[in-house]
Amino acid sequence: MSEQTLNVVGQSVLRRDGLSHVTGKTQYIDDIQFPDMLYLKMVRSPLHHARIHGIDFSEAEKVPGFVRAFTYKDVPKNIYTILCLIGVGPDEEPVLAEKEVLYKGEQIAAIVAQSEEAAIEAAAQVKLDLEELPAVFDVEEALKPGAPIIKPWGTNYFVYEGHHCRRVRFGNIEDGFAKSDYIVEGCYEPRPIEHAPLETTGCVAKPEANGRITVYTNTQALYFSMDNTALILQVPFNKLHFVGGSVGGAFGGKVDVIVEPIAALAAMHTGHPVKYLYTREEEFHVSSTRVAYRIYFKDGITKDGHIVARQVTSYADSGAYNRHTPYAVTKHAANISGPYFIPNVHIDAHCVYTNRVPTSAMRGFGVTSASFATELQMDKIARTVGMDPYEIRLLNAYRNGDMRPYQKVVGDATLVEVIKSAAEMVHHPLGERFQAMTSWDRANSPAQPEPVSPEKRS
């Protein structure tokens, strides 16, 4: 066997942008200046749910430095949804609100002016004629008969291939409960979390002499943003040049395509670079948050600690629009049974719309919230059965050869070994039976690979 020379694995590799960051040379969006740059400020809905009867720009137009106002009529394809590019539909979010607003802070009209102060002043002078409508803020309230319906297709939930929720069915849940010695119920409600990156969301769109538009943006999703912008503006993709990669923190909060389309439209129409950068208030009030969930568990447990039945009804609060939440709920449904082997599983995961700020991605979206719930529930089960929390997890952990509730056979499990290592690291003693467990101890487990001897590792 030839000697391996490793240049990266096993070495400390310094960040390629580290030097730029420590010398202050990294260019963030607010560092970008052009002499003829204009500033975009958004007129936002002050109400949670309202019909728009009119917008009066007459006072705004008088503000010195005012350049232009944009409404939905200026947007070639106003209704979109960011994940349309991976087949998640339907299009349901407006770039600028048309006849209705569905959340407090929703974008209604864009004001462009020669200075930031003028844009703020002009935006403040826009008069909105709004008719307040009943609003709904709770996921279960939103699904009750008689709740105000806020989506155009007539329900307050996302439709998953014709169904009202994402469903996982495995085994027979009633048989599972019948075999149980304990029923353990729980309700877990992870709340929305604001990412609060130090750099706020924003972009600068600049029209170039050759007819292209350069968009400098701090999005995490450069291609999503570029492609969606092209679809919204109804221009060929190659008309746009997106420049990014320097993101002043995001954690999932800069994956929604929100600022680029309207800034690019404004640049196209005014012939000037246009900066649209959230204030800290906008970042807190209007930018997407982690999805909030309400998750009901009903588990059937045998007296020796096996989970033989798990029934979960979960409600995700998508807020007013899709963003990444329908996709998150799919992942959530796959993970809410936990990393455990359970022979009877019944999951209904709803993606519900309310008149709240749209929720979207945040670190491990869909799954983090599931883990929060499954592990609190596991501790509750441990207390009910009178078992050690590590040992009950080792008992139930999925092994190689197990079938997951969504019909995939496990072939790469290492959970048992990880739990045992964790117990060892914190000096938590495990019973002999549990110490002997491995991820390969099922009869139908694939063969365990040979461990690599230390000498063979480089």
Partner 1 sequence: MTTQAYFRPRSLAEALGLLDEHGPAMLVMAGGTLAMPLINKGVSRPEKVMGLRQAGLDYVRSVDGGVHIGAAAPLSRVRASSGVPLLAEAVKNVAGWAVQNMGTAGGNLFAPPPAGDLAVALLALDAQVKLASHRRGERLVPLAEFFTGFLTNCLAPDELVVEIQVPKPIGKTVLLKYGRLYTNTPAIVSVAVRLLARNGRVNDVRIALNAVGPHPFRARQAETTLRGAALHAEIFAAASSTAAAECEPFTDPIASADYRRRMVNVFVQRALAQAAA
Partner 2 sequence: MASKIVTFTLNGHETEVLVKPLTTLAKALREKLGFTATKCGCYEGNCGSCTVIVNGEPVLSCILPVEEVEGQSVLTLEGITPSEGLHPLQQAFHENFAVQCGFCTPGMLMISKALLDKNPHPTQAEITDALSGNLCRCTGYDPIIAAVQQVAEGTNSNQGGTHE
Q: How far is the CB of 22 from partner 2 (least distance, A)?
A: 4
Q: Which helix (H) or strand (E) holds 205?
A: strand 202-207
**Shortest distance in whole angstroms from residue 383 CB to partner 2:** 31
According to CB under 8 A, which one of 248, 269, 296, 364 is a site residue for partner 2?
Answer: 248
Range in contact with partner 2 (rule: CB under 8 A) among 80-88, 197-205, 334-342, 398-406: 197-205
φ, ψ of residue 74 in degrees (nearest 5): -85, -10
Q: Of these, 280, 303, 363, 383, which contacts partner 2 (CB under 8 A)?
A: 280
Q: DSSP letters of 65-111?
A: TEEEEE-GGG-TT-EE-GGGGGT-----EESS-SSEE-STT-EEEEE
3-class SS at 176?
A: helix
Query: How far is residue 348's CA from residue 166's CA, in Å, rounded to a whole number?
Result: 6
- Number of residues lying near partner 2 (CB under 8 A): 31
Q: Is 252 in the site for partner 2 (CB under 8 A)?
A: no
Which helix (H) or strand (E) element contains residue 352? strand 345-353
Identified binder of partner 2 from the candidate list 105, 197, 252, 305, rule CB under 8 A? 197
**114 sits near partner 1 (criterion: CB under 8 A):** no
Segment near partner 1 (CB under 8 A), from 42-50, 80-88, 117-125, 218-226?
117-125
Nearer to partner 1, 98 or 117 (CB): 117
Q: Between 26 and 114, whose beta carbon lies closer to partner 2?
A: 26
CB of 333 to partner 1, least distance (A): 32
Alpha-carbon distances of 36 from 66, 111, 234, rounded to whole Å: 14, 16, 26
DSSP 346: E
DSSP 143-164: HSTTPPP-STTS-SB--BTTBS
The nearest distance, CB 114 to partner 1, in angstroms, is: 14
Least Å distance, CB 176 to partner 1, is 41
Q: How far is the CB of 124 from partner 1 (least distance, A)?
A: 8
Instruction: Output phi, psi for 3, to 5 deg.
Output: -65, 135
Binding residue (CB under 8 A) for partner 1 from 36, 281, 379, 441? 281
Tokens of 81: 């949804």
| Binder of residue 438, out of partner 1, partner 2, none (CB less than 5 to 8 A by kind) | none
Q: Which one of partner 1, partner 2, none interacts with residue 33, CB within 5 to 8 A by kind?
A: partner 2
| Options 117, 141, 175, 417; binder of partner 1; rule CB under 8 A | 117
Report, in Å, the least distance between residue 20 CB and partner 2: 7
List 148's β-bridge partners, or say none. none
Other C-beta atoms closer than 10 Å to the C-beta of 33 total 9
Span of 55-63, 118-126, 129-137, 190-198 interacting with partner 2 by CB under 8 A: 190-198
41, 44, 195, 275: residue in contact with partner 2 (rule CB under 8 A): 195
Distances (CA, A) of 178 to 6, 174, 234, 308, 336: 56, 6, 58, 10, 22
Residue 279 touches partner 1, criterion: CB under 8 A: yes
What letters, b where the CB count within 10 A reaches 16 and e where it falls short, cover 402-432? Answer: bebbeeeebeebebbeebbeebeeeeeebee
Residue 359 near residue 317, CB atoms below 8 Å: yes
Our finding on whether 30 is near partner 1 (CB under 8 A) is no
Residue 131 binds partner 1 (CB under 8 A): no
Q: Is 120 in the site for partner 1 (CB under 8 A)?
A: yes
**120, interface contact from partner 2, partner 1, none, CB < 5-8 Å by kind:** partner 1
Is the torsion defined by CA of 86, 91, 92, 93 positive or negative? positive
- The CA distance from 376 to 395, in Å, is 17
21 counts as binding partner 2 under rule CB under 8 A: yes
**Residue 194 in contact with partner 1, rule: CB under 8 A:** no
Do residues 318 and 326 touch, judged by C-beta distance below 8 A?
yes
Q: Residue 362 in contact with residue 193, Cβ under 8 Å?
A: yes
- Residue 51: phi and psi, rounded to 5, are -95, 140
Residue 120 or 147: the one with the smaller Cβ distance to partner 1 is: 120
Residue range at the interface with partner 2 (CB under 8 A); choices 193-201, 344-352, 358-366, 398-406: 193-201
User: Applying CB under 8 A, does 31 fall inside the site for partner 2?
Assistant: yes
Residues of the shown chain interacting with partner 2 in the complex, contacts defined by CB under 8 A: 14-15, 17-28, 30-31, 33, 195-200, 246-251, 279-280
Binding site for partner 1 (CB under 8 A): 117, 120, 124, 279, 281
